[in-house]
């Protein structure tokens, strides 16, 4: 029996460091209604991307992947491999540290 190589982190997608999160980019990422809805869902708790499929089955996976990319690159979400899935998490602490109160203001439903 060969010893297996450690897992390749091939699908480790880039996330901005906390201090590199830019306000205008965050605002832009949240300025799309569908992306904002996605963020609200994830704010309720970490979600597998596949779970978001069920919520909006009308959106093709390539489109959804692009939406998540915009949010990830803005520093709003973290997207980590989890088995065959991806776990989406809101970067609450980072956003709160960088822009105190912003997330609450945006996520509060009125």
Partner DNA sequence: CATATGGTTCAACTATATTCGAACCATGGA
Partner DNA sequence: TCCATGGTTCGAATATAGTTGAACCATATG
Interacting residues with its own copies (CB under 8 A) = 23-25, 27-28, 30-33, 36, 98-102, 104-106, 108, 110
- Cβ neighbours of residue 72 under 8 Å, at least 6 residues apart? 13, 15, 78, 79
User: How many angstroms from the chain centroid is the CA of residue 4?
Assistant: 31
Q: Nearest approach, Cβ of 100 to DNA (angstroms)?
A: 25
Task: Give the bridge partners for 89, in sequence order.
Answer: 78
Q: Between 86 and 91, name the residue whose CB sits nearer to its own copies.
A: 91
Contact by Cβ (8 Å): 13, 72: yes
Rounded to a whole number of angstroms, the distance between the first and last alpha carbons of the chain is 60
Please, which of residues 60-99 interact with DNA by CB under 7 A?
A: 60-70, 79, 81, 83-86
Q: Between 29 and 103, name the residue whose CB sits nearer to DNA.
A: 29
Contact by Cβ (8 Å): 80, 46: no
Q: Between 82 and 97, name the residue whose CB sits nearer to DNA.
A: 82
Q: Is 13 in the site for DNA (CB under 7 A)?
A: yes
Q: Between 37 and 92, name the residue whose CB sits nearer to DNA.
A: 37
- Distance (Å, rounded) from C-alpha 97 to C-alpha 16? 14
Residues of this chain that interact with DNA (CB under 7 A) are: 7-11, 13, 28, 32, 34, 48-50, 53, 59-70, 79, 81, 83-86
């Amino acid at each position: 029996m060969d010893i297996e190589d450690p897992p390749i982190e091939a699908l480790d997608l880039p996330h901005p460091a906390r201090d590199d999160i830019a306000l205008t980019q965050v605002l832009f990422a949240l300025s799309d209604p569908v992306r904002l809805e996605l963020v609200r869902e994830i704010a309720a708790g970490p979600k597998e991307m596949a779970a978001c499929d069920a919520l909006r089955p009308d959106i093709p996976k390539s489109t959804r992947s692009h939406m998540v990319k915009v949010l990830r690159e803005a520093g709003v979400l973290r997207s980590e491999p989890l088995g065959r899935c991806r776990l989406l998490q809101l970067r609450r602490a980072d956003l709160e540290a960088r822009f105190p109160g912003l997330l609450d203001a945006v996520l509060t439903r009125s």
